[in-house]
Amino acid sequence: MLYTLILMLSMNFPVVESELPNGLDVIIGEDHSSPIVTVCIVVNTGGTCESPESNGLAHFYEHMFFKGNVALPDQTAYNSRMRELGMIRNGTTGREVVRYYLTVSSDLFDEGLEFMYDAITGPLFDPEEIVNERSVIMNEYERKTNHPFWNLWRMQEEVLSIEKWRSSSIGVPEVIMAADQEIMLMFQEKYYTPDNSALIITGDVDAETIMPAVTELFSQWEYGGRSDYFSLGLNISIEKDTIVNVGGPEGMGMIRIVFVGPSMANQQNWTYAADVWGQYMGRMTGEFHNDLVANGPFLDVYASYYSQRFEPSITFGGTIDPELIDQGLEMMHEEILNMFREGYFTESGIEMASEQLRRERLFREESSRDMATETFPFWWVEGGGLEYYNNYPDSLAAVTAGDISLYLDRWVKDKPTAVFIITPEGEWVE
Amino acid sequence: MISILFVLTLLASAPENVTEFDLDNGIHVISRTVTGGEVEGLSFFLVGGSRVLDEANQGIEAFALEAAMAGSDTYPDERWREIMDVTLASWNASYNYDYSRYHLKCLSEDLPLLLDGFADCLLEPELDPQVVERVQNSQLVALQSELNDPDNRIWLVANRGFMGAGHPYLLRPDGIPSTLSSFEVEDVREWLSGRIKSGNILITHAGPTPPEQLAELLEVSFGRIPEGGDVIPEVPEFGIDRDTIITENDETLSAYCVVKFKAPPSGDSDLPAYNTACLVVDELLWQVLRTDNALTYAVSGGSTSNYQRNWGYMYISTAEPALSATLMAEVFGTVASGNADQSLVTGVANNYRTIKGINAQSMDTQCWMLGSGFLSAGDWRAPYLLQESLEEMTVYEISRALSDWALDAGWGIIADSTVVDFNEFEPWSLKGE
């Protein structure tokens, strides 16, 4: 059965959503401001679907995506086709989402769509290409180890994750170097199915005109029904107060205080208050900023909720002179306690935070390509469809000071924390 | 009186609805009207870059602008922060060899207030010592973090051999730790009063506000900026006169390698062919170094086109820098000798067409294109018209441009000397010898 739902008429461009009989969500946004079209496939998978034996292979799969396929087996011909189409393309693998996207001139939409269809449905996973790609990914891994926050990322996986391999998308060298065709096919069979994916198209197209071609082509993608994505468990736990001192770059001190947050999988009702709260705390004229930055030792601070299904977190953090870490940590704790004071959250401040979130949305909508490659994929996965994103403004507008207090009582008050101190002399260095 | 000159766009590749005008004090403004949205972009270009710096004050302009934008006499720190909270406007600064750019992104309804505050911060900065110190520390932290990463540092290593001693582009627009930490409030005030002059400034805009309204808003805000300006010295040629290599030891799992070579200056008729040649090099580097030989995750080639003095480059991160550099020089030779396939040249033109469409969706990028085209080639249309020249480019033209200009190679390598044999390193020639 095919149904169509009009979405988000308040946006800069109209968006329609449909579902094909094989379960594929199709989201089309019409933006005629520029003669290009972007096609994105988003899949409910990522590092969180891995085991110790497959740690890093969701990301490996992404590397194999823009390789030869059944329609274009030869890699040289494949690259040549991309040049013919003037295609700008990329793919990313996160903990909870994988996306692939390409942009072409709108007069080449049919060709771009077909290219994406062949890539998602007919990868070859040529064994020789897989062996080559192991070295490519190892270089990517080695580059990451130079990142100033590599030690912090690694330590966060150790401290916060129930199963640490589900937190690391890049994976571990021994698994990367053992990747083979068999495990790629296993990932494909389990997760790369239409009922576990969405096709997002934005740009200079007319939804009604292109829908028949989209339906005809992508209806051939075989229904799977084998994904376990939505049955995976939470992968964050902080049982007791923990503090770790991690090695970081010269001259920089950082503090991160982390709490477990509400999951986008089954605790969405908490998330609206969480987002308004984060925005409230981020105001440059708010108490949090005034006390810690304007009149305190921090160079910058933030307090935020990260909308995730499996590793949702609430973080208070900031950058500070490494010499002032102890003072900063004490002050940050005081500010957290301060939030529970009567009258800390004012209605005018909450109104401003909600208005900021509305404006943020307008800024994000400036580029329909960014919508196709970032905003829609993120919310489609985390919200379990676009309904969450669609209803988001109304839900935010309904948040009150009382809701924020309830949220803080439930998720922050007297809850165990994981504290990460990052200093040049940090004790923990991988 | 504001005189507005409406530009008729005769060539298909240049965008429509672009207007140029001058404020009474002489500040030139280029505005592209983009209807249908609510987002405005406005870029303030301060011309000079490294050319107005010296060894002791490199980084002063970046620091001065950041410090100034924290508040003014009319919009003191807390009031200015409140405006940021209410509008959710964002500022994006970049500092390069030829100019500084401070970009504002906001909704149309907030443009009048923000332009007034923007100009006020430049003319009457509050410069509260506590705030200035915080800006200074933030910049130092960002700089340290950048310099800690060999992926960023490798470009500076290559510069040392390529640019030659005393070249102004060796001066860092974002400063070095020793200069940045030495600046004081009075240095900032003095720098701003000397540099914020109409003759040093270009403003570009992209968004829904029509040019007549924009002109009025700018006249009451940026029209207050005093007349005058600096005499900005010409940039000398890069000093490289033979193949060179600079190495640096670092305990890093991946080695990094960059080579730079001369390119035509802005406005030179060879520049489009040269830029295309470097993009073809980029395609071939990916094919040879990554797809065929699996030597790297990140490899690229390209060239600058918006500076008075430009350069081409090739970059790679790899566990095998010597082998990679050998192959990079071979790839370069393939293009320079005219042996690249014409389909690669056509592919570059096709890609550029798509990129141009992507850029059109961002007001920020539009502002940058209008400004960089005007400042480097004297005409904002230059980046837009590049596509037309790309579509007619031949392998012969690109090989000639590359071989005529890219003579001596300045290599830089960062690697772990306990893992990689530094004796294998040599300045690989790009001249096909």
For the CA atoms of chain B, what is the radius of gyration? Answer: 23
Asked if A137's CB is within 8 angstroms of B37's CB, the reply is no
Return the H-helix or E-strand segment holding A4: strand A3-7
- Smallest Cα distance from A165 to chain B, Å: 22
Per-residue CA distances from B34 to A265, B250, B362, B381, B388 (Å)? 40, 48, 10, 16, 23
Point out the residue among B84, B137, B363 whose CB comes nearest to the CB of A366: B363
Sheet with B311-318, edge to edge strand ranges: B244-249, B410-415, B255-262, B311-318, B296-303
d(CA A407, CA A280): 14
d(CA A406, CA A403): 5
- DSSP-assigned letter for residue A372: I
pLDDT at B384: 86
- Provide the CA A119 distance to its chain's centre, in angstroms: 22
Per-residue CA distances from A338 to A242, A273, A341, B155 (Å)? 21, 18, 5, 46
Of B331, B173, B304, B163, which is closest to residue B246 (Cα–Cα)? B163
- Class of CATH domain B6-224: alpha beta
Contacts of B8 (CB under 8 A, 6+ apart): none
The yes-or-no answer to whether B6-224 and B244-424 have a common fold is: yes
Of A400, A315, A304, A415, which is closest to residue A360 (Cα–Cα)? A304
Phi-psi region of A56 (alpha: psi -120 to 50; beta: other; left: phi over 0): left
Six token digits for residue B23: 């404020």
**Please, are residues A256 and A317 in contact by the beta-carbon 8 Å criterion?**
yes
Point out the residue among B77, B145, B297 whose CB comes nearest to the CB of A143: B297
For residue A363, list chain B residues with Cβ-Cβ distance below 8 A: 39, 88, 90, 105
pLDDT at B15: 82
Point out the residue among B86, B87, B354 whose CB comes nearest to the CB of A87: B354
Per-residue CA distances from A315 to A26, A301, A412, B12, B293 (Å)? 34, 10, 10, 50, 43
Asked if A363's CB is within 8 angstroms of B85's CB, the reply is no
Point out the residue among A88, A249, A367 whose CB comes nearest to the CB of B362: A367
- Smallest Cα distance from B20 to chain A, Å: 22
**Residue of chain B whose Cα is closest to the Cα of A251:** B141
Token pair 């030659």 is found at B164
For residue A103, list chain B residues with Cβ-Cβ distance below 8 A: 354, 357-358
pLDDT by position in tens, chain A (length 430) = 455 555 554 567 899 999 999 999 999 999 999 999 999 999 999 999 999 999 999 999 999 999 999 999 988 889 999 999 999 999 999 999 999 999 999 999 999 999 999 999 999 999 999 999 999 999 999 999 988 899 999 999 999 999 999 999 999 999 999 999 999 999 999 999 999 999 999 999 999 999 999 999 999 999 999 999 999 999 999 999 999 999 998 889 999 999 999 999 999 999 999 999 999 999 999 999 999 999 999 999 999 999 999 999 999 999 999 999 999 999 999 999 999 999 999 999 999 999 999 999 999 999 999 999 999 999 999 999 999 999 999 999 999 999 999 999 999 999 999 999 999 988 766 5
* DSSP secondary structure of A278-309: HHHHH-TTSHHHIIIIISSSEEEEEEEEE--S
Asked if A360's CB is within 8 angstroms of B354's CB, the reply is no
Cβ-Cβ pairs closer than 8 A, A with B, add up to: 168
Of B43, B39, B34, which is closest to residue B16 (Cα–Cα)? B34
pLDDT at B4: 47
pLDDT at A184: 96
Is some CB atom of chain B closer than 8 A to the CB atom of A351? no
d(CA B416, CA B325): 16
Using DSSP's 3-state secondary structure scheme, residue A363 falls into: helix
pLDDT mean by block of 10 residues, chain B; 433 residues: 42 79 98 94 98 97 98 96 97 96 98 98 97 96 91 96 95 96 97 98 98 98 97 94 96 96 92 95 96 96 93 97 97 97 95 94 97 93 83 94 95 97 94 76
Q: Any alpha helices (H) in B94-170, and if so which ranges?
A: 111-123, 129-148, 150-162
**Please, are residues A354 and A396 in contact by the beta-carbon 8 Å criterion?**
yes
Residue type, B239: G
Is some CB atom of chain A closer than 8 A to the CB atom of B287? yes
Point out the residue among A83, A88, A133 whose CB comes nearest to the CB of B358: A88
Six token digits for residue B207: 């968004």
Is some CB atom of chain B closer than 8 A to the CB atom of A186? no
Asked if B37's CB is within 8 angstroms of A33's CB, the reply is yes
**CB-based burial, B389-407: b 16+ in 10 Å, e otherwise:** bbeebebebbbbbbbebbe
**Residue of chain A whose Cα is closest to the Cα of B77:** A294
**CB-based burial, A357-379: b 16+ in 10 Å, e otherwise:** bebebbbebbbbbbbbbbbbbbb
Of A251, A232, A203, which is closest to residue A104 (Cα–Cα)? A203
- DSSP-assigned letter for residue A123: B
Instruction: Give the up-direction half-sphere exposure of residue A290: CA atoms within 13 A in the CB hemisphere.
Output: 12
Contacts of A82 (CB under 8 A, 6+ apart): A66, A89, A115, B347
- Provide the CA B395 distance to its chain's centre, in angstroms: 28
Where in chain B are the domains?
A: 6-224, 244-424
pLDDT at A429: 62
**Please, are residues A101 and A373 in contact by the beta-carbon 8 Å criterion?**
yes
Asked if A146's CB is within 8 angstroms of B362's CB, the reply is no
Torsion of Cα atoms, A164 then A166 then A172 then A177, to 10°: 150
**Please, are residues A118 and A71 in contact by the beta-carbon 8 Å criterion?**
yes
Asked if A147's CB is within 8 angstroms of B149's CB, the reply is yes
- DSSP-assigned letter for residue A23: S
Using DSSP's 3-state secondary structure scheme, residue B299 falls into: strand
- Smallest Cα distance from A227 to chain B, Å: 30
Token pair 């296993």 is found at A186
Per-residue CA distances from B1 to A415, B23, B210, B216 (Å)? 65, 8, 18, 10
d(CA B410, CA B157): 10
**Residue of chain B whose Cα is closest to the Cα of A35:** B357
Asked if A145's CB is within 8 angstroms of B360's CB, the reply is no
pLDDT at A9: 47
d(CA A297, CA A294): 8
For residue B152, list chain A residues with Cβ-Cβ distance below 8 A: none
Six token digits for residue A292: 């810690």
**Residue of chain A whose Cα is closest to the Cα of B109:** A359
- Smallest Cα distance from A226 to chain B, Å: 32
Is some CB atom of chain B closer than 8 A to the CB atom of A92? no
Is some CB atom of chain A closer than 8 A to the CB atom of B355? yes
Phi, psi of A293 (to 5 degrees): -110, -65
**How many residues belong to chain A?**
430
For the CA atoms of chain A, what is the radius of gyration? Answer: 23
d(CA B390, CA A365): 31
- DSSP-assigned letter for residue A251: T
For residue A14, list chain B residues with Cβ-Cβ distance below 8 A: none
Residue range B244-424, CATH number: 3.30.830.10
